[in-house]
């Protein structure tokens, strides 16, 4: 069968439809028995969602050891993304990232990674016990966010840590910046270091030459690719893509079976199957449309008075290797407005939902599902905001710099160490035993094992005062730190 014909099939979804339509008498779980127990969701949404919510019945294969329709669907996915293997994931890209790192790094193995990683990578260090060596991403000092890692910095980290097991890169960062992934892959592979890519925001890359290279095209060993973010599947569904002989495929399966549910949602699996088909048939058109819509917005916004679009030229001029043209970053800094304030204003006044607001910028994501009508609404809203006459003045508390804290001890050690709770204002010099962040973007201000400094305290104070929900384990103004007086550090031999 030719590739096009194969890609037009949906093995898992087709089997699920057949199962539902077969008139089966369900004496298995789930207990709603294909939606036969009425509830408010069925009344509101119709019965389809519950009807198609099966749990691994006979004939629908098993995600823990796929040999039938799930395997066929995964193989089609691998073929589409130019990978040797694809694994369907139902725990979000978080699970794909945990699996990627756990199957490559054992405790005390060195892993090179940019500090502006998502919390799932930090948590993977707790699970694996790997030792992070942080690479410095390019920092945009003007607008206060971190970009991609330049080749020279990746090379430096590799040269200084020739025993590293893996290097982790973002493709792209939340704001759309990418590294010279191919060159880094080549350099790392010459030294037998695996390249693991957090491609949570890069599903679209595989389908359009106007976009940066996808991880698999660049030659990465593994990529955690969020089909649900920009690929069109349901939220929480994701894929782990793998390529090449550095991967131990049997071990990846073992790790996935530690991390994944034994009751994966058939709706999530089916949504991966149909999204893959849609990308195979229309990936180019969908991504071209996303780029076109985004370019249209950039063009319409080129004469703003004080708000400013940070377009691809801006990123490239600041040293970024390449840029994802499905993203729109707009700054309101010169008006004295924070990205957070504009994020809220857009929703409250214009009913426009941005992806995220940061200190000085707001991020908007475009996909093949973005409509011209929505883009026009966005453009008009931004132009409207740009007209606001009153200049805001950033208060003192706002003026904290972009800065990463000092790394003291590996995250797993901090996770297991005895803890105490301190008010964040008294925490200077303490070693954090938790990761603290706002979400999105979910990039920790401090990760467990790092030292809390003035900047961390100032940043937490700012977010608390402005009423942001800070993600951390401890309540209110308290943070969890290592109780160093009672801490007996583990020796190198203690742990595998």
Q: Which is nearer to ligand PLP, 170 or 320 (CB)?
A: 170
Q: Which is nearer to ligand PLP, 245 or 469 (CB)?
A: 469
Q: Closest separation between CB of residue 248 and ligand PLP, Å?
A: 23
Cβ-defined contacts of 138-142 (< 8 Å, 24+): 138/177, 138/318, 138/319, 138/320, 139/402, 140/318, 140/402, 141/401, 141/402, 142/333
- In the set 7, 94, 148, 194, which binds ligand PLP (CB under 6 A)? 94
Q: Closest separation between CB of residue 120 and ligand PLP, Å?
A: 5
Q: Closest separation between CB of residue 95 and ligand PLP, Å?
A: 7
Q: Which is nearer to ligand PLP, 88 or 337 (CB)?
A: 88
- Per CB under 6 A, does 234 bind ligand PLP? no
- In the set 226, 338, 370, 432, which binds ligand PLP (CB under 6 A)? 226
- Per CB under 6 A, does 198 bind ligand PLP? yes
Q: Which is nearer to ligand PLP, 97 or 375 (CB)?
A: 97
> What track of x and - describes contact with ligand PLP for positions 98 through 137 (by CB under 6 A)?
--------------------x-x-----------------
Question: Which residues in 328-357 contact ligand PLP (CB under 6 A)?
Answer: none
Q: Closest separation between CB of residue 175 and ligand PLP, Å?
A: 11
3-state secondary structure the chain: CCHHHHHCCCHHHHHHHHHHHCCCCCCCCCCCCCCCCCCHHHHHHCCHHHHCCCCCCCCCCCCCCCCCHHHHHHHHHHHHCCCCEEEEECCHHHHHHHHHHHCCCCCCCEEEEECCCCHHHHHHHHHHCCEEEEECCCEECCCCEECCCCHHHHHHHHHHCCCCCEEEEECCCCCCEECCHHHHHHHHHHCCCEEEEEECCCHHHHHCCCCCCCHHHHCCCEEEECHHHHHCCCCCCEEEEECCCCCCHHHHHHHHHHHCCCCCCHHHHHHHHHHHHHHHHHHHHHHHHHHHHHHHHHHHCCCCCCCEEECHHHHHHCCCCEECCCEEEEECHHHCCCHHHHHHHHHHHHCCCCCEECCCEEEEECCCCCCHHHHHHHHHHHHHHHCCCCCCCCCHHHCCCCCCCCECCCHHHHHHCCEEEEEHHHCCCCEECCCEEECCCCCCCECCCEECCHHHHHHHHHHHHCCCCEECCCCCCEEEEECHHHCCCCCHHHCC
Q: Which is nearer to ligand PLP, 267 or 457 (CB)?
A: 267
- In the set 73, 200, 363, 409, which binds ligand PLP (CB under 6 A)? 200
Stretch that binds ligand PLP, among 61-69, 141-149, 198-206, 444-452 (CB under 6 A): 198-206
CA distance 90 to 262: 10
- Per CB under 6 A, does 440 bind ligand PLP? yes
- Per CB under 6 A, does 174 bind ligand PLP? yes
Stretch that binds ligand PLP, among 89-97, 415-423, 425-433, 488-496 (CB under 6 A): 89-97
Stretch that binds ligand PLP, among 14-22, 76-84, 385-393, 438-446 (CB under 6 A): 438-446
Residue nearest ligand PLP, CB atom distance = 92
- Per CB under 6 A, does 59 bind ligand PLP? no
Q: Closest separation between CB of residue 442 and ligand PLP, Å?
A: 5
Q: Closest separation between CB of residue 396 and ligand PLP, Å?
A: 30
Q: Which is nearer to ligand PLP, 57 or 440 (CB)?
A: 440
Q: Which is nearer to ligand PLP, 66 or 92 (CB)?
A: 92
> What track of x and - describes contact with ligand PLP for positions 264 through 303 (by CB under 6 A)?
----------------------------------------
- Per CB under 6 A, does 93 bind ligand PLP? yes
- Per CB under 6 A, does 238 bind ligand PLP? yes
- Per CB under 6 A, does 442 bind ligand PLP? yes
Which among 229, 244, 278, 212 has a CA at the least distance from the CA of 77?
278
For ligand PLP, the binding residues (CB under 6 A) are 92-94, 97, 118, 120, 170, 174, 198, 200-201, 226, 238, 440-442
């Amino acid at each position: 069968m030719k590739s096009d014909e194969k890609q037009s099939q949906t093995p898992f979804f087709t089997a699920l439809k057949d199962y539902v339509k077969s008139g089966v008498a369900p004496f298995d779980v789930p207990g709603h028995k294909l939606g036969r127990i009425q509830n408010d969701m069925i009344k509101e949404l119709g019965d389809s969602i519950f009807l198609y919510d099966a749990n691994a019945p006979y004939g629908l294969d098993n995600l823990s050891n796929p040999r039938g329709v799930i395997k066929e669907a995964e193989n089609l996915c691998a073929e589409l993304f130019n990978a040797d293997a694809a694994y369907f994931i139902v725990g979000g890209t978080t699970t794909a990232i945990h699996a990627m790192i756990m199957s490559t790094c054992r405790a005390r193995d060195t892993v090179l990674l940019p500090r502006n990683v998502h919390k799932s990578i930090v948590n993977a260090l707790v699970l694996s016990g790997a030792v992070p060596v942080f690479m410095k991403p390019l920092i945009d000092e003007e607008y206060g966010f971190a970009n991609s890692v330049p080749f020279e910095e990746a090379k430096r980290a590799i040269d200084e840590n020739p025993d590293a097991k893996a290097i982790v890169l973002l493709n792209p960062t939340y704001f759309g910046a990418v590294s010279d992934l191919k060159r880094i892959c080549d350099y790392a592979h010459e030294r037998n270091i695996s390249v693991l890519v957090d491609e949570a925001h890069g599903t679209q890359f595989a389908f359009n030459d106007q976009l940066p290279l996808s991880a698999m095209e660049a030659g990465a060993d593994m990529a955690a690719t969020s089909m649900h973010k920009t690929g069109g599947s349901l939220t929480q569904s994701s894929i782990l893509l793998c390529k090449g002989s550095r991967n131990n495929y049997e071990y990846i399966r073992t790790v996935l079976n530690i991390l994944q549910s034994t009751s994966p949602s058939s709706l999530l699996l089916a949504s991966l199957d149909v999204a893959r088909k849609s990308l195979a048939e229309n990936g180019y058109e969908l991504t071209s449309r996303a780029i076109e819509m985004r370019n249209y917005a950039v063009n319409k916004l080129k004469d703003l008075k004080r708000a400013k679009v940070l377009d691809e030229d801006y990123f490239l001029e600041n040293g970024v290797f390449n840029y994802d043209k499905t993203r729109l970053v707009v700054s309101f800094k010169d008006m004295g407005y924070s990205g957070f304030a504009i994020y809220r204003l857009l929703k409250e006044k214009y009913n426009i939902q941005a992806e995220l607001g940061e200190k000085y910028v707001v991020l908007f994501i475009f996909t093949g599902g973005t409509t011209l009508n929505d883009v026009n609404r966005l453009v008009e809203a931004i132009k409207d905001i740009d007209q606001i006459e009153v200049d805001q003045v950033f208060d003192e508390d706002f003026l904290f710099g972009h800065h990463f804290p000092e790394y003291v001890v590996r995250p797993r050690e901090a996770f297991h160490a005895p803890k105490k709770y301190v008010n964040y204002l008294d925490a200077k010099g303490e070693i954090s035993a938790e990761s603290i962040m706002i979400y999105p973007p979910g990039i920790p201000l401090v990760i467990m094992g790092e030292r809390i400094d003035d900047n961390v305290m100032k940043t937490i104070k700012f977010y608390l005062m402005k009423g942001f929900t800070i993600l951390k384990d401890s309540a209110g103004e308290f943070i969890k730190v290592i109780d160093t007086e009672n801490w007996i550090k583990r020796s190198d031999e203690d742990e595998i």
